[in-house]
Amino acid sequence: MSFDSLGLSEPLLRAVNELGYSSPTPIQLQAIPAVLKGGDLLAGAQTGTGKTAGFTLPILQRLSQLAPATGGAKRPVRALILTPTRELAAQVEESVRAYGKYLKLKSTVMFGGVGINPQIDALKRGVDIVVATPGRLLDHMQQKTIDVSQLEILVLDEADRMLDMGFIHDIKRVLARLPAKRQNLLFSATFSDEIKALADSLLDSPALIEVARRNTTAETVDQKIHPVDRDRKRELLTHLIRGNNWFQVLVFTRTKHGANRLAEQLTKDGISALAIHGNKSQSARTRALSEFKAETLQVLVATDIAARGIDIDQLPHVVNFDLPNVPEDYVHRIGRTGRAGAEGEAVSLVCVDEHQLLKDIERLIKRPIPREVIVGFEPDPNAKPEPIQRRSQGRGQGQGQSQGRQNPRNGEGRSSGEARREGGRPAGEARGARPAKPVKSGNAANNGGAQPSREARNHNKPNANAGSAPRRQEPAQAGHVANSRKPGGNPGALLGGRRDALRSGDRSR
């Protein structure tokens, strides 16, 4: 089946054809007609299956065919797409522009870590579609620089990650300012019970699409485990990259400190590498990602949160230098390769400390991952496992495993960790705080006097006010897709903190 059969307009089909796409993916086949009907939708698909086009194409079509509710001189914001990270926001807005190049619709992207004034100028000129992270969107709402009173379509992209990162309260604040009558779309790489609980309170008789079994990995990804001693991981990684002549290698570490250290060590080994995580400036993150996409950078070392939005055609290699604390993150990680039917390779370097994490991952994906011991790197059979938390508090671990499972109250909790800085509020930012006063124009972080976001104000203070904010938890409660909207529903009450303790690795990245 081709895109022609999905009811898309000629300008959209022309743009899709120019981008080299001929056949829609399974999620696109089901999502595009569903969105075009105008109803709410809950859609789940494996990472890399083309779900971004699954909502951008029909949104562009609907907005181009329907005139705005009021015909004023200024374009009203008619569609809002929320994403958990800056990189993903930029990626989605790039897709909006690419698919809509022959339509008379305008879009803009808004995230923190950069000056807010250019975003305000774009809103003043008028845009139809806004792609944003929750924190920066709330900045604009507080400053009354964005008007969403005429919003027609809301999209929560990577909704599972936004819940995992603790954005549920920010999402609720956004929802409270949106018009009640609108089309709601939830797209998610994984399809958890928590997502269904959110849908139960938000969506009105939604269509339900799940094109693959929950928490499955793509069949096109060749997965492999290399057992190795904890102190030889970096040496083995260098051996694999050099011996196999790997290029464009995306490497995941558990922590930000581990990402920095590993990138430095690989550079000393003669392998070009850069780290990308929440403590890096937005310009540094953008430069690293651009060089990696252009294949001038051999290795990109990333944390889980920062890696969201890395969408590279034919990315050949993903390496788990550290296994994630939460098994679902393994699915997200290796989903960076083998995208849209392409083949890829996912390698995990596993030491004795991570055997239980590996068991949890294999239980989740319901399949064993093949083991292969590399000659010369055989693990010590007498090695004793050490709790990752104890090693992080003691002598540390030079192989990227320091700061492993940290105490969630030690200053790296959700309210002060990277999860808050990625899409919105940084460490120590109080909810409902008044917008900061403009700083002097000489401040580089403010882009010529622009009022900075919560992210920008503490950009170089990864642990400002660390530990000052209390840790939040809500009772876990799974739900099902509702047949009708529940007035006054409280999504936060339905969503649990069952991953809070496990995700300490996420928040310390």
pLDDT digits (tens, 9 = 90+) for 320-353: 999 999 888 888 888 777 665 567 899 999 999 9
Q: How confident is the model at residue 164 (pLDDT cuts 50, 70, 90)?
A: confident
- Residue where the block lists tokens 């849209």: 340
Which range is most confident: 70-84, 162-176, 215-229?
Answer: 162-176
Classify residue 62: in a domain, yes or no.
Answer: no
- Tell me the mean pLDDT in the region 480-484: 41
Q: How confident is the model at residue 72 (pLDDT cuts 50, 70, 90)?
A: low
- Tell me the mean pLDDT in the region 109-114: 92
Classify residue 376: in a domain, yes or no.
Answer: yes
- Tell me the mean pLDDT in the region 226-255: 95
Say if residue 40's pLDDT is above 50.
yes
Q: In what order do the strands lie in the sheet with 317-320?
A: 221-227, 344-350, 317-320, 249-252, 299-302, 273-276
Q: Are 78 and 151 in contact (CB under 8 A)?
A: yes
- Tell me the mean pLDDT in the region 176-190: 89
Q: Are 106 and 123 in contact (CB under 8 A)?
A: no
Tell me, what's the pLDDT at 289?
Answer: 86
Among 437, 439, 434, residue whose Cα is nearest residue 139: 434
Classify residue 116: in a domain, yes or no.
Answer: no
Q: What is the DSSP string of 170-238?
A: HHHHHHTTS-SS-EEEEEESS--HHHHHHHHHH-SS-EEEE-S-TT---TTEEEEEEE--GGGHHHHHH
Partnered with residue 477 across adjacent β-strands are: none
Enter the DSSP assignment of 100.
T
pLDDT digits (tens, 9 = 90+) for 19-33: 988 889 888 999 999
Q: What is the pTM for the complete model shown?
A: 0.62
Tell me, what's the pLDDT at 309?
Answer: 60
Among 204, 136, 190, residue whose Cα is nearest residue 485: 204
Tell me, what's the pLDDT at 505?
Answer: 42
Which range is most confident: 84-98, 161-175, 387-401?
Answer: 84-98
Higher pLDDT, 478 or 291: 291
Q: Are 252 and 319 in contact (CB under 8 A)?
A: yes
Q: How confident is the model at residue 496 (pLDDT cuts 50, 70, 90)?
A: very low
Classify residue 129: in a domain, yes or no.
Answer: no
Residue 359: domain span: 221-393
pLDDT digits (tens, 9 = 90+) for 144-158: 999 999 999 999 998
Higher pLDDT, 194 or 384: 384
Tell me, what's the pLDDT at 329?
Answer: 84
Q: How confident is the model at residue 488 (pLDDT cuts 50, 70, 90)?
A: very low
Classify residue 250: in a domain, yes or no.
Answer: yes
- Residue where the block lists tokens 């008007």: 147
The Cα–Cα gap between 335 and 275 comes to 19
Say if residue 235's pLDDT is above 90.
yes
The CATH number of whichever domain residue 290 belongs to comes to: 3.40.50.300
Q: Which two tokens stand for residue 311?
A: 């969408």
Enter the DSSP assignment of 124.
H
Classify residue 430: in a domain, yes or no.
Answer: no
Number of domains in the chain: 1
Region of poorest pLDDT, from 35-49, 63-77, 91-105, 128-142:
63-77
Give the other-Cβ count within 10 Å of 294's Cβ.
9
Could you tell me the CA-to-CA distances from 509 to 406, 413, 497 in Å, in that order? Answer: 11, 11, 19
Sign of the Cα pseudo-torsion (219, 343, 210, 364, in order) = positive
pLDDT digits (tens, 9 = 90+) for 241-285: 999 999 999 999 999 999 999 999 999 999 999 999 888 888 888
Say if residue 181's pLDDT is above 90.
yes
Tell me, what's the pLDDT at 340?
Answer: 55
Q: Which two tokens stand for residue 1?
A: 């089946």
Q: How confident is the model at residue 1 (pLDDT cuts 50, 70, 90)?
A: confident
Classify residue 341: in a domain, yes or no.
Answer: yes
Q: How confident is the model at residue 187 (pLDDT cuts 50, 70, 90)?
A: confident
Indicate the average pLDDT of the chain: 77
Strand, helix or coil for residue 22? coil
Tell me, what's the pLDDT at 212?
Answer: 62
The Cα–Cα gap between 335 and 114 comes to 28
Tell me, what's the pLDDT at 73?
Answer: 61
Tell me, what's the pLDDT at 144?
Answer: 95
Say if residue 46's pLDDT is above 70.
no
- CB neighbour list of residue 12: distance below 8 Å, 6 or more residues apart: 57, 60, 61, 99, 100, 102, 103
The residue type of 470 is P
pLDDT digits (tens, 9 = 90+) for 2-15: 898 998 999 999 99
Burial label for 494, CB within 10 Å (0-12, 13-18, 19+), is buried
Q: Which two tokens stand for residue 372?
A: 């292969």
Buried (b) or exposed (e) across 311-342, using 16+ Cβ within 10 A?
Answer: bbeebbbbbbbbbbbbbbbbbbbbbbbbbeee
Among 194, 255, 217, 214, residue whose Cα is nearest residue 499: 194
Which is it for strands 207-210 and 153-157: parallel, antiparallel or unpaired?
A: unpaired
Q: Which two tokens stand for residue 67?
A: 């005139």
Q: Which two tokens stand for residue 109?
A: 């992207």
Tell me, what's the pLDDT at 159?
Answer: 85
350 backbone dihedrals φ, ψ, rounded to 5°: -120, 125
Say if residue 209's pLDDT is above 70.
yes
Classify residue 441: in a domain, yes or no.
Answer: no
Q: How confident is the model at residue 403 (pLDDT cuts 50, 70, 90)?
A: very low
